[in-house]
């Protein structure tokens, strides 16, 4: 059995100089998802309600992820496991077609709820530090235990479909717009519809996300050397703050494809190609 490594200098042929203790967040569990979110309710801005009521059809445009609210709760029947509840808030732009062949861009909000179960271990130590803000309560002193921290990483979703429906029949997933954070509302230049419109739009989004549970830990890691930057500071990739713009232009390849359309169109089988083929002008 190898001898236990202790903090301090290390004699090692691979270049490790010493073993040091660091304080960081250790990932205990993680998962990734490729969600196809069908029939997600679209809450338009009030100024577009009349446009939607007169629209003949709608087509997908683009969507931007504004914010994800994350909550972590322990699972009582399974020690060390936690539920991670997430609420995604999206800004969605769609193309509404009236009698004119030119579509009208309508903007609104979509909300998606998601829950995952992950292992986060257990910890009952109460954490205190000297990072106390004057005149404000120390949130760390209010914690009952050292709970894991949930981290959600997500990219902007892809708008896969959009449909118009009459509002006479409510669906189980329908609800009036409520509990939207103020800063999310402020992202829209105007008031949002409350959800009681006569005609409704349902969109389908494709969402990629990664969820993980982290916990504060002390880890022993190998150190090779101090991390000294090797690159000099410059104003840009060219290395000069006042580089001739014509010189920059001369380094750009001639756009042959713009003058000679290809004989075939490559299928969008990756995220970048699928996301930027919508009607967002991108």
Q: How crowded is residue 132: how many other Cβ atoms within 10 Å of its Cβ?
A: 13
Q: In whole angstroms, give the CA distance from residue 152 to residue 212.
A: 7
**Is 80 exceeded by the pLDDT of residue 50?**
yes
3-state SS, one letter per residue, for 138-157: CHHHHCCCCCCEEEEEECCC
Confidence band for 11, pLDDT divided at 50, 70 and 90: confident
Confidence band for 132, pLDDT divided at 50, 70 and 90: low
Over residues 15-34, the pLDDT tens digits come to 788 889 999 999 999 999 99
pLDDT at 142: 52
Would you kindly state where each structural domain of the chain is located, as residue ranges? 8-275
Please compute the mean of the pLDDT values over residues 187-205 and round it to a whole number: 84
pLDDT at 32: 94
Confidence band for 175, pLDDT divided at 50, 70 and 90: low
pTM of the entire predicted model: 0.79
**Is 80 exceeded by the pLDDT of residue 10?**
no
């Amino acid at each position: 059995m190898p001898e236990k490594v202790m903090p301090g200098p290390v004699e090692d042929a691979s270049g490790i100089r010493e073993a040091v203790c660091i304080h960081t967040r250790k990932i205990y569990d993680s998962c990734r998802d490729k969600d196809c979110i069908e029939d997600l309710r679209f809450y338009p801005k009030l100024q577009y309600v009349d446009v939607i009521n007169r629209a003949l059809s709608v087509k997908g445009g683009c969507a931007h992820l504004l914010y994800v609210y994350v909550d972590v709760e322990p699972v009582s029947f399974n020690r060390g496991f936690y539920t991670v509840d997430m609420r995604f808030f999206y800004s969605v732009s769609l193309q509404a077609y009236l009698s004119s062949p030119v579509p009208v861009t309508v903007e609104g909000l979509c909300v998606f709820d998601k829950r995952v179960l992950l292992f986060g271990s257990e910890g009952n130590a109460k954490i205190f530090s000297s990072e106390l803000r004057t005149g404000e309560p120390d949130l760390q002193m209010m914690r009952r235990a050292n709970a894991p921290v949930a981290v959600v990483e997500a990219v902007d979703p892809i708008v896969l479909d959009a449909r118009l429906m009459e509002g006479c029949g409510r669906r189980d997933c329908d609800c009036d717009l409520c509990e939207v954070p103020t800063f999310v509302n402020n992202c829209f230049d105007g008031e949002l519809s409350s959800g009681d419109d006569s005609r409704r739009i349902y969109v389908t989004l494709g969402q990629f996300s990664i969820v993980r549970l982290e916990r504060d830990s002390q880890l022993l890691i190998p150190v090779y050397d101090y991390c000294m930057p090797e690159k000099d500071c410059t104003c840009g990739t060219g290395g000069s703050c006042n580089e001739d713009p014509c010189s920059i232009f001369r380094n750009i390849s001639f756009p042959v494809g713009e003058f000679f359309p290809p004989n075939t169109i490559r299928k969008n089988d990756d995220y970048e190609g699928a996301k930027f083929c919508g009607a967002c002008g991108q």
